[in-house]
Amino acid sequence: MNISDLKPGMRNISLKARIIDVSEPRTVETRIGTARVADATIQDETGTVKMSLWNDQIERFSVGDVITISNGYTSTFRGEMRVNVGRYGKISKVRQ
């Protein structure tokens, strides 16, 4: 799947992209406590989209990494479509 094919509310997304930007991590309150989150911008040959990196993912991934996402989903946050890995999805590094 390509980034240009994504639409809000999609489920079971699989894609491969490069991380082109990662924001500074911030601390947020969630239903289960405090967590750290950073916004990453990912890109493939068809476009870019934002995704969130949570807690240990922030250290595992960095700008330039090529990643694959499987069983992800899309949502809209503050008027912007985002890719999410979620509890049942998987994100892994292919190469730098």
Using alpha carbons, select from 34, 56, 44, 55 the residue that is nearest to residue 83: 44
Give the CATH number of domain 3-95: 2.40.50.140
Secondary structure E strands in the chain = 13-22, 26-30, 33-44, 47-54, 66-77, 80-84, 90-95
Enter the pTM of the model. 0.90
Would you kindly state where each structural domain of the chain is located, as residue ranges? Answer: 3-95
- Digit-coded pLDDT (tens) for 23-53: 999 999 989 899 999 999 999 999 999 999 9
Residue 75 pLDDT greater than 90, yes or no: yes
Q: Does residue 71 register a pLDDT over 60?
A: yes
Which pLDDT belongs to residue 96?
56
